[in-house]
Structure 1
Amino acid sequence: MCKDNATSVNEIFLQGFKNLYNYNIVFFLFILLIFIVILVGNLLIIVSVSVSQQLRHPMYFFLKNLSTADVLLASNILPALLHVILWEGGHLSLTGCILQYYVHSCLLIAQSYILTVMSYDRYLAICYPLHYATIINTKNCLYLVSFSWIFSCILMSSELIIIVQMEFCGSSVIDHYFCDIAEILQISTSYNMILMWDDFVVSLLCVFFPFLLIVSSYICIFFTILKISSMSGQKKAFSTCSSHLLMVCVYYGTLNSIYIVPSGDNSQNDNKFKSLIYIVLPPLINPIVYSLRNREMIESIKTLTYKHVRAEKCWRV
């Protein structure tokens, strides 16, 4: 119960980018274009991997799940952002705010675990090629991916339980375009040390430890590649993991830019733009990296497009 006649918060007002209100149409179109590119690029990967016989490989199965997380992450935040930009702010129920944060965090954790699984896949493929087919079989792939999705939801459930028991009284204005942990703590009047410690533990389990595993995997991969005698063999081995390594750098680089790198004087605006970068950049870069740098993916997309065009012509006839 709220004390001292304070009003219980049932609805949140998201202010968005106040300094860009004069350019809201241009900003709206820019974000809309990015959202469309993210959806088209990642859905193309999902469909291609699902229907193509050429892409029946564990790495593409993991990539499909990563693209699924990218689509869901963008769809959770960007439509709401478009509404906030167009109407110079937006209202969201407290329940919707908490749910948005929960879904957002689950998807970020799932991305982290899937990237870790992909690094393990590359580690086995390069360091232990003779054991690769035995370990990374269809059954184990399903186990690894299922763990990534389910454990991310379980981890965030502890925070969700704490948040729903907190009191929200007084101010209902959030100077942001979506509900993140800092903004939820800002409008809460409850003792939040337990939530902060829980968030710290979750961050260790879903960001720090997976990052250590990825770094350890690539250290082993690089030493194994250096042992290859021919230069062509080294290039071929490195090319099999270069796309994934680039995605790891983009994911953790953008994530650390907001949670580790200190902000400047205009910290709130800095955080808004940094968070926009880590929400938009990985889903945007992922299809480009895996499409333009992968011959099998390009051929699969061409075949899929050709079949669609041919089917459309036959339907018209």
Structure 2
Amino acid sequence: MERENLTGISEFFLMGLSEQPEQQEVLFVLFLSMYLVTVAGNLLIILAIITDAQLHTPMYFFLANLSFADACFVSTTVPKMLSNIWIQNQVISYSECLSQLYFFMLFVMLEAFLLAVMAYDRYMAICHPLHYILVMSPGLCVFLVSASWVMNALHSLLHTLLMNNLSFCADHEIPHFFCDINPLLSLSCTDPFINELVIFSVGGLAGLVCVLCLVISYTYIFSTILKIPSAQGKRKAFSTCSSHLSVVSLFFGTSFCVYFSPPSTRSAQKGTIASVMYTVVTPMLNPFIYSLRNRDIKSSLRKLIWVRKIHSP
């Protein structure tokens, strides 16, 4: 059976953030600026970590991977939206939509896993500093990142294959700026029960594991910090995880509003705003949060920019 006969359509229409023609130019400039800042900021973080030997530690290894995931994450959705605004065409092909869904889910879950891994890293550094170097070995760090990639690649493939089995018969207008799983399920003319079951079981389990890792790690971290006798010692210990905690709160707070809120409380507008927050705003803010609150990153970035000035003609 051909693909068109199975799905009923060969393309979707991404309705974007606004249907008002006078707002398209503003949206294009705004999201192009945010995209360029996001990619440049995350690449700078990666370059600073690679070039500075003092940053070759587990914490910054995970941060470099998080920055790479952020750059890929935002590149999955924003360029297509900018292209649609520029050429004034809302069409996205069926195969391109499923590809976007796959990579979007890969990077959104990869970010969640990396944030959980970074929480464990901070737990070891603050609660067990004497065992930190022994436990957080290069082999373990590579294994944790590699396992995150493999598990999320399979997880995303599962959702994409299940989506491919659905039929989309008539309505093919997606009230979103990218192919997300919930808007696609709402357009299906077949029962998406299996898809929804997998979202709340497999996806929910993966999210629960990440959240439990974060909650348990920070419970021990705060407990250890409160036992430090000096106020200066408490501030120093808390400063090592404050940036990570800010990113975690922003990312999980907005993403959970989108995927785990009751259907009766959802609205297209609220879902779109929350999606913009964790798909565009959070990856853009992450480099600023880590660079402004981290002396090592700020020092490395200053050295990186200073060297480039010296060697520039």
Distance, in Å, in 1 between the alignment partners of 2:121 and 2:6 is 54
- The code of the aligned residue for 1:34 comes to M
Q: Deviations over 1:64-106 (max 9, x none)?
A: 0001110001111011121233445511110110111111011
Check the 8 A contact 2:290/2:297 in 1, yes or no: yes
- The code of the aligned residue for 1:150 comes to V
- The code of the aligned residue for 2:185 comes to L
Distance, in Å, in 1 between the alignment partners of 2:17 and 2:10 is 23
The residue aligned with 2:268 is 268
The answer to whether residue 162 in structure 2 is matched with residue 162 in structure 1 is: yes
The answer to whether residue 70 in structure 2 is matched with residue 70 in structure 1 is: yes
Report how far residue 167 of structure 1 moved: 2.4
- The code of the aligned residue for 2:48 comes to S
In the superposition, the TM-score normalised over structure 2's length comes to 0.93
The residue aligned with 2:207 is 207
2:54 aligned counterpart, secondary structure = coil
- The code of the aligned residue for 1:163 comes to M
- The code of the aligned residue for 1:307 comes to V
Change (3 A) 1:200 1:263: closer
Distance, in Å, in 2 between the alignment partners of 1:108 and 1:230 is 39
The worse-fitting range, judged by mean Cα deviation, of 24-33 and 302-311 is 302-311
Change (3 A) 1:29 1:263: farther
The answer to whether residue 24 in structure 2 is matched with residue 36 in structure 1 is: no
Check the 8 A contact 1:112/1:206 in 2, yes or no: no
Report how far residue 256 of structure 1 moved: 2.1
Check the 8 A contact 2:7/2:167 in 1, yes or no: no
The residue aligned with 2:120 is 120
- The code of the aligned residue for 1:96 comes to E
Distance, in Å, in 2 between the alignment partners of 1:94 and 1:301 is 42
The answer to whether residue 291 in structure 2 is matched with residue 291 in structure 1 is: yes
Q: Size of the alignment, in residue pairs?
A: 311
The worse-fitting range, judged by mean Cα deviation, of 30-39 and 10-19 is 10-19
Change (3 A) 1:303 1:79: same
The answer to whether residue 146 in structure 2 is matched with residue 146 in structure 1 is: yes
The worse-fitting range, judged by mean Cα deviation, of 12-21 and 100-109 is 12-21
The worse-fitting range, judged by mean Cα deviation, of 18-27 and 245-254 is 18-27
Report how far residue 196 of structure 1 moved: 0.9
The residue aligned with 1:257 is 257
Change (3 A) 1:7 1:165: closer
The worse-fitting range, judged by mean Cα deviation, of 204-213 and 62-71 is 204-213
The answer to whether residue 232 in structure 2 is matched with residue 232 in structure 1 is: yes
Report how far residue 298 of structure 1 moved: 1.1
Report how far residue 151 of structure 1 moved: 0.8
2:190 aligned counterpart, secondary structure = coil
- The code of the aligned residue for 1:195 comes to N
Distance, in Å, in 2 between the alignment partners of 1:101 and 1:293 is 33
In the superposition, the TM-score normalised over structure 1's length comes to 0.92
Change (3 A) 1:163 1:311: same
Report how far residue 269 of structure 1 moved: 2.1
The residue aligned with 2:184 is 184
